[in-house]
Every structure is written in structure tokens, then in C-alpha cells.
């Protein structure tokens, strides 16, 4: 079911790996509360001019004493987000009426807040309220959650810069074993 038809701006592209389907035994019961405020995390690429990360063989095969001990600033400069990428993403979210709560170049994340209506417009998604029934023989998973179907969309000029958008839905993803 394409819940996004006609809502995707012409310059937007799907965010790779963001396609979502409803949870098993869930059905959409209506739109999400348009005035609900939520915080999301936007994950950015590693700076493109940075050196490659050491692989597992290097880490396990090199004694700790021989590996460089980077300060927080050195780590961010090598492996964090490019300040220019942060500036571009911040400009986009602010243009869409969202509020930047925090930026973390070292973690390559931007925390943003806004309403369901603002998030839906910014990322070309339709957030809905879903009801999920418990699956027989499994831990009870019944209840409601805010979710979406299909992909998250971002402006084409941010493709490759934004690598993830987390928090648009609030369904439980992990289960106790």
C-alpha cells in the first residue's frame, strides 16, 4: 500500500534502507495526532575526507599500546561528521520548521523536534496510528503505536549525507528472549 502517493516533492529521493512495513498483526486505525511533538535523530555519513576506520584484524592484531590514542577533538576531526554536512542538514530541517535540539559531530547525529505534521512534510511520510494484536504463543505485543509504511524521503542534495532518520515511529523493535 503506497500511503505516500502525491506527497513526495519532485526533488526528493528515498532514503536507502528506510522502507518499513506495519508490524505483524497490526492494522492502521487512523492518522497520527498531527499536533504530537516528537524528537528524531538524523544520522549523518562519516566525513568523506577522513581516513578509513581500522578493521577488526588491525584492532585485534595491534597491541593497545601501539595504537594511537586520539583525543575527542582528534577523533571528531578524523571520523566525525563534516561540519559542512551538518550545516546543510540543519538548514534543511530549519527550513521545514523543525527545531534543532542538539548536534553531535563526533556521533554524526542531529537531534530534531517538531510535530507529526512537520515531520510528515519534511520527510514525505504519512505517520499513522496502528493497532497491534498479540501473536498467539508469543510474549504479548498488543497495543498501539505511531508508525509509517514505505520509505523516508529526503532532498536529493542530501542523498548520501543523511544515512538514517530514527524516531518517526515508536513501535517496540526489540523483544526479550
State pLDDT tens for residues 66-118.
887 889 999 899 999 999 999 999 999 999 999 999 999 999 999 999 999 99
Closest of 88, 101, 127, 81 to residue 41, by C-alpha: 101
Residue 150 pairs with which residues in a beta bridge? 20
Kindly state whether residue 111 falls inside one of the protein's structural domains: no
Question: What contacts 25, CB < 8 A, 6 or more positions away?
Answer: 132, 133, 134, 135, 141
What's the CA gap between 12 and 159, in Å, rounded?
9
Kindly state whether residue 77 falls inside one of the protein's structural domains: no
State pLDDT tens for residues 54-72.
888 888 888 888 887 889 9
Which grid coordinates are listed for 41?
535523530
Kindly state whether residue 94 falls inside one of the protein's structural domains: no
Kindly state whether residue 165 falls inside one of the protein's structural domains: yes
Torsions phi, psi for 101 (to 5 deg): -90, -45
pTM: 0.86
Q: What's the total number of domains in the chain?
A: 1
Residue found by looking up cell 504479548 in the block: 140
Q: Which residue range is the domain that position 29 belongs to?
A: 1-45+116-177
What's the CA gap between 177 and 75, in Å, rounded?
36
Amino acid at each position: 500500500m503506497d500511503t505516500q502517493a502525491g506527497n513526495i516533492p519532485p526533488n526528493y529521493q528515498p532514503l536507502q534502507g528506510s522502507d518499513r512495513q506495519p508490524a505483524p498483526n497490526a492494522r492502521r486505525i487512523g492518522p497520527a495526532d498531527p499536533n504530537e511533538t516528537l524528537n528524531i535523530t538524523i544520522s549523518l555519513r562519516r566525513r568523506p575526507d577522513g581516513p578509513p576506520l581500522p578493521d577488526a584484524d588491525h584492532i585485534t592484531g595491534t597491541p593497545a599500546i601501539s595504537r594511537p590514542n586520539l583525543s575527542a577533538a582528534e577523533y571528531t576531526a578524523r571520523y566525525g561528521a563534516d561540519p559542512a554536512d551538518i550545516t546543510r542538514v540543519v538548514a534543511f530541517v530549519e527550513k521545514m520548521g523543525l527545531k534543532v535540539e542538539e548536534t553531535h559531530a563526533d556521533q554524526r547525529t542531529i537531534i530534531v523536534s517538531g510535530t507529526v505534521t512537520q515531520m510528515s512534510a519534511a520527510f514525505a511520510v504519512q505517520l499513522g496510528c496502528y493497532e497491534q494484536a498479540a501473536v498467539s504463543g508469543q510474549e504479548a505485543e498488543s497495543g498501539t503505536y505511531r508508525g509509517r509504511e514505505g520509505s523516508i524521503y529526503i532532498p536529493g542534495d542530501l542523498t548520501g549525507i543523511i544515512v538514517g532518520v530514527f524516531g518517526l515511529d515508536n513501535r517496540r523493535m526489540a523483544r526479550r528472549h
